[in-house]
Amino acid sequence: MTRKFSLSLGKTTVDCRSLKLAVVSQAIVRQRFVFLIRTTLVSIAILATRSWIISQQEIKRQLCTQHLDLTLFAIRDSANLSDRLYTYHLNMSKFQSDFPHLQNYKCSVTLTPQKEQELGNPKPVLIMAIKSHPRSGARRSAVRQTWARVEEVGGYWVKLIFLIAKTEVSGQLELVALESREFGDILQWDFNEGHHNLSLKERCFLEWLDSDLPHVEFIFKGDDDEYVNPRAVVDYIKEHSSSPNTLHGHLQRHSAVMRSTKYAISKTLYSFHKYPSFLSGGGFIFPGTSVKYLHEAAQKIPVFPLDDVYFGFLALAANLTYRHDRRFYVSGLAFNACKYQEALVVHGIEPERLIQIWTEVQRAQCQGGQGGQ
C-alpha cells in the first residue's frame, strides 16, 4: 500500500508540474500575443498620425497656394476710378487678353541688395531706386562715382538700389551678378527687360518694399541716365514731409492718350482719351507710409503697360495726392552749375557727362536760391 501510494503521489506531482508549465506557457503566449497586438496598434496609430500630419500639411500647402493665387489673380479685377473730372474704366479681361504676362507674373527675385547697414542704422532711410538695364553698366558706374557715393545726408541714410530684370544677351547677367557681389546695390527679378515690363518693376518693387523694408522713410524713383542731387532731395523732404499721403514730382495733368509711337495704347484696351494725372517717371518721391496702400492697389487693379501711367492709376486707387515742383527737371536742363545745385533731378545725362557735371557742381560757389515751384 505504501509503495502504491508513493507512486500515485509522484504521478500527481508530475501532473501538477506539467499543468503549471502549461499554464505558464499559455500566459507567456498570451502576453506575447497581447504585446504583439499592442505593438501593432501603436504602429497603426503612428502611421495614421503621420498620414494625418502629411495630409494636413498638404491641405495647408494647397490653401497657401490658393491664397497666393487669389492674391495675384482673383483679387486683381476690373476697376472704375474717379478723380474730380473724369472716371476711368480698366477692363481686366482686355488687359488679360492683351498683356497676360503683366497680370499673371509672380514676382521672383534673383538678386537682392545688401540691407545690413540700413537695418542696423537708427537714422531714417531714403531709398534711391533707379531703373536700369543689364547692359547699362557704364551708367551704373557713373552713378556710383558721383551722386550715389554719399551714404549719409542731412541725418538721412541714403541707400542706392538699381532695379533690373533679365536679358537673353550672353554675358550681361554675369556682369550684373559681379556688380551685385561687389556693391550690393542690385534688386533683380527673373522677367525679361522690355518697355511694357517696366510696369512689372513698379509692381514688384512695391511688393518688395512692403515685405522687406516696411519702415523706409522715403523713396526716390528715377532712371540711370540722370543727375540727382541727394542734398537737395533731403532738404525738400524735410520741408514738404508733413503729409504722409502725398507724392512729389513733375505732375502730368490729364495727359492725352497716344495711339501711335512706342507709348501707343489701343482703343480696345483703353477707350478713354485721357489719363489720370501722374508723376513723370523720370524722377519722383513718395513717402514710405504710402507703400502699403500702393501695394494693396497693385493687387487689385489691372497692370497698365506704361509704367508712369500705371503708377498714376495706383495713386488714384490708393487715394493719394500730388505736389508738383519744377525742380524735377524730367525733360533735361541746360547746364548751369548753380541751377544744378538746387535741382532735385535732371534727366537725360550720359555717363561721361554726368561725371563732368558732378565735378563742376561740387566746385561751384553759388549764392542765393533759384529753386521753387
- Separation of alpha carbons 18 and 14, rounded Å: 6
**The pLDDT of residue 5:** 39
List the chain pLDDT tens, one digit each, 373 residues. Answer: 444 434 344 444 445 555 555 655 665 656 665 566 666 665 565 555 555 544 554 544 443 333 333 344 448 899 999 999 999 999 999 999 999 999 999 999 999 998 755 455 678 999 999 999 999 999 999 999 999 987 899 999 999 999 999 999 989 999 999 999 999 999 999 999 999 999 999 999 999 999 999 889 999 999 999 999 999 999 999 999 888 999 999 999 999 999 999 999 999 999 999 999 999 999 999 999 999 999 999 999 999 999 999 999 999 999 999 999 999 999 999 999 999 999 999 999 999 999 999 999 999 999 864 444 4
DSSP state of 99: -
Phi, psi values for residue 247, rounded to 5°: -100, 145
**The pLDDT of residue 24:** 52
Q: Cβ–Cβ contacts within 10 Å for residue 20, how many?
A: 10
- Separation of alpha carbons 195 and 53, rounded Å: 47
Same domain flag for 62 and 99: no
Contact between residue 226 and residue 284 where contact means Cβ atoms under 8 Å apart: no
User: Domain count of the chain?
Assistant: 2
Same domain flag for 55 and 124: no
**The pLDDT of residue 21:** 56
Same domain flag for 120 and 195: yes
Same domain flag for 109 and 192: yes
Q: Among residues 308, 326, 344, which one ends one of the domains?
A: 326
**The pLDDT of residue 123:** 87
Same domain flag for 84 and 70: no
Residue 345: inside a domain: no
**Domain range spanning residue 211?**
79-326
CATH number, residue 293: 3.90.550
- Separation of alpha carbons 27 and 137, rounded Å: 85
**The pLDDT of residue 133:** 98
Same domain flag for 244 and 257: yes
